[in-house]
Structure 1
């Protein structure tokens, strides 16, 4: 019998690559995609972490054994472009969607302390990688508006924060990249998700007392009274994959951070 679900089956049978899918928002995008009956390939720089994440996914979704796989890809390496090409070729066959949530440690720095090296390093994972991936993606994505690429920025792209100039520059640049790629790669769709503060492992490097102070400050400041959960933010990525009419768009999911 044909599947009569008009909306919840939109990702059924689709092949989705989640770069940054071994933790945080990317892991939750992988979970949500599996629940939507898609096949998921997760990637990060750490092969051990990929294997652990796949095991965790299969413990939660044992029936998805044939729909989950993963491959490492170092986006911070000088061989970035060849690493991306290798990852895409390892996926085998055409993909329907690519989601990029990968991010390295937030390189906040006082303006007087930045260097050319630090500026270039800050670009690798969050800016250079999406652009170089777009260069090669036509060969690996199904053609047409059913296919999509989804990039990730943050609210600092719209609301400046002290000592975030390097990161903010690239975060804002992703807005322009998304709009232009939506034209360059058409009819493949390209969109951008802009989360606010989200409780992910990216904050693990922060001293515990500083982290608790940050959480308290954000809860008091945000209209929702809560910091974002990755499982909620993941819904934005599912939306832009499902909506064939959405391209060149920025979806904000920030707890109202831009209002205060």
Structure 2
């Protein structure tokens, strides 16, 4: 026994600063709450000032907010000019979008990749120079890359994000890059995508996986903190799906 006192696990981000793009709702908001509980400082970015104000009301006045549509490189560049030094960066940008590649308007299909893949590119281009030399970047992807379920372009974008994380873990070392791949998660995205039937659809889908339920955003946030705080995790896709890939 060395007698060395290890820091309390609940303060494992003490004094560190985290930027969460898409931090005003769902998994991003839950991650912001988890970072604060772990002793970190939080900056969140979202597309509208109204959503940021609502999030700040939940998170507290010390949280810094930035209006930014990550699909726009100019918007990300403007945001980056107002960022402090960062320890970790997490982006949840991108939405699930059902599509028929034969009939969906091409602009709608391109927007899926803009919101998922190109948002990550913009953030890397303009925000990683704010990171400490061994900081971390986590891209949120999803299990749609394995289970398309009527969303071909979302599936392709998720796969591209995962490949991007692996590639950047090599080309931008010692920065760490990982992809977080949640499965069915109880967020407002389901009602936004499917309307009043969203909750019913989610429950029906989640009933067939081994755990038998959808994840809570806080459970995915715990995984995001793991990717930030374990300094030897690099270049992986962390799948949090309740065992769905086993069925």
Same topology, TM > 0.5: yes
Q: Which residue of 1 aligns with 2:101?
A: 111
Deviation (angstroms), 1:118 = 2.4
User: What is the DSSP-based 3-state SS (H/G/I as helix, E as strand, rest coil) of the residue aligned with 1:226?
Assistant: coil
Distance 1:219 1:119, change over 3 A: closer
Cα distance between partner residues in 1 of 2:167 and 2:25: 29
The alignment covers a number of residue pairs equal to 243
Q: Which residue of 2 aligns with 1:181?
A: 168
Is it true that 1:84 corresponds to 2:76 in the alignment? yes
User: Which of 60, 67, 72 is matched with 1:72 structurally?
Assistant: 67
Deviation (angstroms), 1:193 = 0.3
Which aligned pairs between 1:1-260 and structure 2 lie closer than 5 A? 4-5=6-7, 7-58=9-60, 65-66=61-62, 68-76=63-71, 80-91=72-83, 93-104=84-95, 106-144=96-134, 147-161=135-149, 163-205=150-192, 206-208=194-196, 210-260=197-247
TM-score by length of 1: 0.88
For the Cα contact (< 8 Å) 1:96–1:141, is it kept in 2? yes
User: What is the DSSP-based 3-state SS (H/G/I as helix, E as strand, rest coil) of the residue aligned with 1:107?
Assistant: coil
For the Cα contact (< 8 Å) 1:138–1:185, is it kept in 2? no
Deviation (angstroms), 1:3 = 7.6
Cα distance between partner residues in 1 of 2:233 and 2:206: 31
Distance 1:130 1:217, change over 3 A: same
User: What is the DSSP-based 3-state SS (H/G/I as helix, E as strand, rest coil) of the residue aligned with 1:207?
Assistant: helix
User: What is the DSSP-based 3-state SS (H/G/I as helix, E as strand, rest coil) of the residue aligned with 1:53?
Assistant: helix
Cα distance between partner residues in 1 of 2:209 and 2:243: 6
Unmatched segments (≥5 aa) in structure 2: none
Cα-Cα RMSD: 1.7
TM-score by length of 2: 0.92
Unmatched segments (≥5 aa) in structure 1: 59-64
Cα distance between partner residues in 1 of 2:207 and 2:22: 30
